[in-house]
C-alpha cells in the first residue's frame, strides 16, 4: 500500500464509520432499540474493515520509486554494533 493509498484507506474508513454511526443512531432512535442500533453499527465496522484493511489494488496506484542500491558505497561492509 502506497502513501496515497494509506490516506485513501483512512478516509474511506472514517467516512464509513461516520455514516453507519449516524444511520444506526437514527434507526435505533426510530425503533427504540439499543440492540438494533449496536448491531447496525457493528455491521458498519465490519464493512469499514473489509473496505479499508486489505491491500486492494486501488490502494497501489501511486507506487513509491526507491533509489537503486549503490554497490560502490564506501561504508557498505561496515557493521554497526
What is the C-alpha to C-alpha distance for residues 43 and 28, in angstroms, rounded to an integer?
Answer: 14
Contact 20, 45 (CB under 8 A): yes
State residue 30's pLDDT score.
Answer: 96
Report pLDDT digits (tens) over 24-66.
999 999 999 999 999 999 999 999 999 988 888 888 888 888 8
Query: Model's pTM, two decimal places?
Result: 0.72
Buried b (16+ CB within 10 A) or exposed e, 18-35: eebeeebeeebeeeeeee
State residue 55's pLDDT score.
Answer: 85
Binning pLDDT at 50, 70 and 90, where does residue 10 land?
Answer: very high
- Residue 70 vs residue 1, higher pLDDT: 1
Amino acid at each position: 500500500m502506497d502513501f496515497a493509498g494509506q490516506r485513501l484507506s483512512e478516509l474511506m474508513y472514517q467516512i464509513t464509520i461516520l455514516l453507519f454511526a449516524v444511520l444506526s443512531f437514527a434507526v435505533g432512535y426510530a425503533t427504540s432499540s439499543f440492540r438494533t442500533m449496536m448491531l447496525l453499527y457493528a455491521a458498519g465496522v465490519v464493512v469499514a474493515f473489509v473496505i479499508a484493511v486489505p491491500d486492494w489494488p486501488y490502494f497501489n496506484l501511486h507506487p513509491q520509486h526507491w533509489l537503486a542500491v549503490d554497490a560502490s558505497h564506501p561504508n557498505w561492509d561496515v557493521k554497526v554494533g
